[in-house]
Amino acid sequence: MHTSLSSSPAIVPREKLDFQLDGDIAQYWLDNDPFKTRFFDALSTLFPVGERFFITCVRDFKDRITDPKLLQDIKDFNRQEAQHSMLHTQYNNRLVAQGINVPEILRRQERRLFGLLRKRLSPEFTLGITAASEHVTAIMADCFIERPEIFANADPRIRALYVWHAMEEMEHKSVAFDVLTRVAQASYRTRVLSMLMVSLIFPYHVMKILAYMLQTDGFSRWQRTKIWAKGLWWLYKPGGIFMPMLGKHFAYLKPGFHPWQEPAVASYEPWKRLLKESGDPIAASDSLQLLMMSGELRHA
């Protein structure tokens, strides 16, 4: 079976957290930069329907599961994802107020995921898509939290939301994968093909929504050209958002891979402690940001 698995933390559903998303958050809340902000805004629009799709695809196999630990993990995974959907809907309501047609984005995604993928593909394959997507969200913490310079000039409320979401994605990162491998016993081919599909389609839709948002914001064609050139460099430059993650991303394709071969990120335990001490996710993420910036926690 799997070798050298690190111990996995408990999946803790955290409910009734208040991120004060109805406050006076600036339209370009990250570095006052339209591209960076709209990149995270585009991600946010995909979460509510996406997470409902993940829950549904895992539920397809629920009747075949007997392991009580896995059944409990699925319950906690569902509760975490339901909270994420709810909070990202609040987040997305801000975007609606800015003139972004979020309902249309959701309708199209609903049609793609539920009207197309779930109708045309086998439950094994849509579970594969779920496990692959969960792998992508699980490395969000590595992407955005472990490198504190990325959120250094972010609105503290939205940063706190992404920190919380990323940490919980990491906590439940093996649930869909365990159902895929142990219960559905999907082939390696299904795992690889579904990951390749996610690797192409997910960034494509994020970029499409990002483009729509920048257009809706009223930037001229020339302004958008400059915004895209700078933004794509931020995403894809060596040491940017994506490049350092490529190894972790494609580790998923190794035969014998398991999500817990990669231990919890260094910021996870401090964040949990800070949240417990303050009871406030914004204060916890602010303190974590200072701690990360101090360099004490950073690992190579």
**CB nearer to Fe ion: pick between 50 and 148:** 50
**CB nearer to Fe ion: pick between 176 and 292:** 176
**CB nearer to Fe ion: pick between 75 and 298:** 75
Do residues 60 and 123 lie in contact, with contact meaning Cβ atoms separated by under 8 Å? yes
Q: Which stretch binds Fe ion (CB under 5 A): 19-27, 83-91, 103-111, 224-232?
A: 83-91
Considering only residues 117-176, where is the footprint of Fe ion by CB under 5 A? Answer: 134, 137, 169
3-state secondary structure of 154: strand
**CB nearer to Fe ion: pick between 51 and 217:** 51
Q: Which stretch binds Fe ion (CB under 5 A): 65-73, 80-88, 93-101, 192-200?
A: 80-88
Least distance (Å) between residue 140 CB and Fe ion = 9
Q: Which stretch binds Fe ion (CB under 5 A): 77-85, 235-243, 255-263, 264-272?
A: 77-85
**CB nearer to Fe ion: pick between 141 and 214:** 141
> What secondary structure letter does DSSP report for 206?
H
Question: Among candidates 52, 50, 38, which has minimal Cα distance to 95?
Answer: 38
Total site size for Fe ion, rule CB under 5 A: 5
Which tokens go with 116? 């197309």
Q: Which stretch binds Fe ion (CB under 5 A): 73-81, 89-97, 227-235, 245-253?
A: 73-81
Considering only residues 22-51, where is the footprint of Fe ion by CB under 5 A? Answer: none
3-state secondary structure of 215: helix
Buried b (16+ CB within 10 A) or exposed e, 63-95: eebeeeebeebbebbbbbbbbbbebbbebbebb
Question: Among candidates 288, 32, 3, which has minimal Cα distance to 164?
Answer: 288
**CB nearer to Fe ion: pick between 34 and 259:** 259
Least distance (Å) between residue 169 CB and Fe ion = 5
Least distance (Å) between residue 172 CB and Fe ion = 6
**CB nearer to Fe ion: pick between 34 and 249:** 249
Per-residue CA distances from 218 to 31, 99, 202, 211 (Å):
19, 11, 25, 11
Residue number with the shortest CB distance to Fe ion?
A: 84
Cα separation, 268 vs 46, whole angstroms: 24
Do residues 151 and 144 lie in contact, with contact meaning Cβ atoms separated by under 8 Å? yes
Question: Among candidates 260, 116, 104, which has minimal Cα distance to 197?
Answer: 116
Least distance (Å) between residue 258 CB and Fe ion = 16
Cα 49 off chain centre by:
13
Question: Among candidates 72, 38, 47, 227, which has minimal Cα distance to 140?
Answer: 47
84 binds Fe ion (CB under 5 A): yes
79 binds Fe ion (CB under 5 A): no
Which tokens go with 150? 């990325």
Q: Give the interface with Fe ion as residue ranges (CB under 5 A).
A: 81, 84, 134, 137, 169
